[in-house]
Amino acid sequence: MSLLITRECISCDACREECPDEAIYDNEPIYVIDPDLCTECVNEFSEPACIVACPVDCIIPDPDNVESIDELRLKHKNKDI
């Protein structure tokens, strides 16, 4: 499943700086995660880098973009092609 940034976002840029997929962008007033790019850092880290970096814990699983671990791995594999 992709991740979602909630309205509690303070637009501090910490998550965007850490995202290896470049899936996070500024969309005033808060940041947004592109579900087509987000791989939840599968095969890169033990947990999503954006969640670790977020100082206000405003990044959650996106219920509208459910993906299995296998789908996330395939997306990660295909991003390098």
Per-residue pLDDT of the chain (81 residues; tens, 9 = 90+): 689 999 999 999 999 999 999 999 999 899 999 999 999 999 889 999 999 999 999 999 999 989 998 988 888 888 766
Buried-exposed string 31-52: b where 16+ CB fall within 10 A, e elsewhere: bebebeebbbbbeeeeebbbbe
- Residue 80: the pLDDT is 65
Q: Classify domain 3-78 at the CATH topology level.
A: Alpha-Beta Plaits (3.30.70)
* Euclidean distance between CA atoms 31 and 15, whole angstroms: 9
- Residue 40: the pLDDT is 93
Residues 6+ apart with CB under 8 A from 36: none
Task: Kindly report the pTM of this predicted structure.
Answer: 0.86
Hey, how many other C-beta atoms are within 10 angstroms of the C-beta on 61? Answer: 15
Helix (H) or strand (E) holding 13: none
- Residue 5: the pLDDT is 97
User: Which candidate, 49, 16, 47, 20, places its Cα nearest to that of 33?
Assistant: 16
- Residue 34: the pLDDT is 95
